[in-house]
């Protein structure tokens, strides 16, 4: 077991389990935000696992998730619009979750980009990171807008 | 020590599955279902089956919740129109 796998395990325990707990309780807005956070964290864990197992092909999973994850969250945003508009005001915890979804991406992606050999793999990694950041930001903004309506 | 990722992924799947069963409202359940799909994809990756994980991601992240939510919406709309007819 190397450091990358250990980092993936740590992210799984410290990130995904709390996000799951947040997705199971509380108002709808918090649940959807937690679902968005789960998507981002899962993609990061997949990237770390790809490096840990030394199989760059596993990075494709993270790329697919970076594209499909925001689509899924936007589906919830669209079909739950009424309930989201009726849910109570945003709490600091929910703001923290929205922030964590974007703040967790750069450290992991940059650390991985440093150790991968320059070339197509680096480009793919950075593309995944950019997609994750953009998707998370768009989803958080759409959810906030849905609440304000 | 090498089995730690597998054990943790299994734990996550167990927690997500239990949570999905324990949630009663279908709308909220579909959200937990999405998380369960992600957890399963992680488990498959850790068990060295990325092809299975890929199809799980494709189906579990967007398609299953979309179908659940669309059916809930249709059922609710039908119930509402029936109630309106009763009033008339």
Among B23, B26, B45, B58, most A C-beta atoms within 10 A, so best to mutate, is: B45
> Cβ–Cβ of A64/B69 closer than 8 Å?
no
CB contact at 8 A, A38 and A106: no
Q: N- to C-terminal Cα distance for chain A?
A: 49
Number of structural domains (chain B) is 1
- Give the domain extent around B56: 4-87
pTM for this entry:
0.91
> Cβ–Cβ of B31/A75 closer than 8 Å?
no
Query: Which of A39, A25, A28, A66 is CA-nearest to residue A143?
Result: A28
Using a CB-CB cut-off of 8 Å, the residues of chain B touching A3 are: none
Question: Per residue in A66-102, pLDDT tens?
Answer: 999 999 899 888 888 888 887 776 788 888 888 888 8
| Sequence ranges of the domains in chain A | 3-148
Question: Per residue in B46-57, pLDDT tens?
Answer: 999 999 999 999
> Cβ–Cβ of B27/A83 closer than 8 Å?
yes
Q: What are phi and psi of B17, to 5 degrees?
A: -65, -45
């Amino acid at each position: 077991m190397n450091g990358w796998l250990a980092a993936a395990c740590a992210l799984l325990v410290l990130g995904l389990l709390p996000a799951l707990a947040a997705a199971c309780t509380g108002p709808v807005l918090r649940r959807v935000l937690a679902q968005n956070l789960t998507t981002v964290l899962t993609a990061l864990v997949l990237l770390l696992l790809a490096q840990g197992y030394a199989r760059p092909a596993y990075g494709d999973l993270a790329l697919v998730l970076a594209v499909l994850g925001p689509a899924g969250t936007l589906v919830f945003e669209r079909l739950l619009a009424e309930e989201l508009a009726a849910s109570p005001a945003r709490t600091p915890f929910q703001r923290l979750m929205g922030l964590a979804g974007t703040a967790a991406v750069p450290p992991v992606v940059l650390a991985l980009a440093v150790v991968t050999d320059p070339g197509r793999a680096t480009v793919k990694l950075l593309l995944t990171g950019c997609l994750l950041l953009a998707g998370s930001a768009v989803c958080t903004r759409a959810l906030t807008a849905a609440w304000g309506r | 020590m090498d089995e730690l990722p597998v054990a943790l992924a299994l734990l996550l799947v167990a927690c997500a599955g239990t949570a999905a069963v324990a949630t009663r409202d279908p709308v909220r359940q579909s959200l937990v279902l999405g998380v369960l799909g992600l957890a399963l994809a992680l488990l498959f990756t850790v068990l060295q089956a990325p092809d299975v994980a890929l199809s799980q991601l494709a189906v579990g992240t967007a398609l299953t919740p979309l179908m659940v939510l669309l059916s809930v919406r249709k059922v609710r709309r039908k119930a509402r129109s029936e109630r309106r007819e009763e009033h008339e």
